[in-house]
């Protein structure tokens, strides 16, 4: 097996791990929703979509065999993480300044009209307000943890790819 194939295999494993982490984060959010009664707001649901898209692109990328196709899906992962970071950042801002809340009436119909809201309403339908304060987890709100996860994805995916491919050039 060539060194390039070994390095691309490493990237594929990173992508599978990232996809599993994203699915676990969605599962954790569902647990908090069902078991703890923390109703998801429109921004929460949009963050779930971003996590799901990251997972999907990561898994598809992991199935790719060429460096070019792998790079395309890694780029899509980073784009989705950037979008997720934007939404999570706005959510954090909304929690600090509740007067600017997205409000269930503004985004709710848009988010509830997205396809997954009809297919899997428990996981993708709006049920709460963006400004609702829930107990922090290890000192951070769920929106802050989501922002950390998205920023780490935006930083680590290109960094790991760059370091992994450095000696191939």
Q: Can you give the pLDDT at residue 155?
A: 94
Grouping H, G, I as helix, E, B as strand and the rest as coil, residue 40 is coil
9-62 pLDDT, tens digit per residue, is 888 999 999 999 999 999 999 999 999 888 888 899 999 999 999 999 999 999
Kindly calculate the radius of gyration of the chain based on its CA atoms and give it in whole angstroms: 17
Taking only the tens place, the pLDDT of each residue in 111-160 is 888 888 888 888 888 887 777 778 888 988 888 999 999 999 999 999 88
CATH number for the domain that contains residue 78: 1.20.1550.10
The 3-state DSSP composition of the chain as helix, strand, coil percent (nearest 5) reads 80, 0, 20
pLDDT for residue 169 is more than 60: no
Give the pLDDT band of residue 164 (cuts 50, 70, 90). Answer: confident
What's the total number of domains in the chain? Answer: 1
- Within 8 A by CB and 6+ apart from 102, the residues are 41, 42, 43, 90, 94, 130
Task: Name the β-bridge partners of 137.
Answer: 140
Per-residue model confidence as pLDDT tens digits over 60-119: 999 988 888 888 999 999 999 999 999 999 889 888 887 766 555 677 777 888 888 888
pLDDT at 167 over 70: no
Q: Can you give the residue range of the structural domain that contains 81?
A: 3-168
């Amino acid at each position: 097996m060539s060194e390039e194939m070994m390095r691309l295999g490493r990237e594929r494993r990173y992508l599978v791990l990232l996809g599993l982490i994203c699915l676990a984060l969605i599962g954790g959010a569902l647990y908090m929703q069902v078991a703890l009664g923390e109703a998801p707001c429109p921004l929460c649901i949009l963050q779930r979509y971003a996590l799901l898209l990251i997972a999907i692109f990561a898994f598809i990328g992991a199935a790719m065999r060429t460096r070019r196709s792998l790079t395309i899906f890694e780029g899509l992962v980073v784009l989705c993480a950037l979008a997720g970071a934007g939404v999570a950042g706005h959510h954090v801002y909304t929690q600090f300044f509740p007067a600017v809340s997205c409000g269930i009436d503004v985004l709710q119909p848009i988010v509830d009209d997205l396809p997954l809201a009809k297919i899997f309403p428990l996981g993708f339908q709006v049920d709460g307000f963006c400004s609702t304060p829930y107990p922090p987890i290890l000192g951070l709100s769920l929106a802050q943890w989501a922002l950390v996860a998205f920023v780490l994805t935006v930083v680590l995916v290109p960094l790991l790819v760059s370091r992994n491919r450095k000696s191939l050039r």
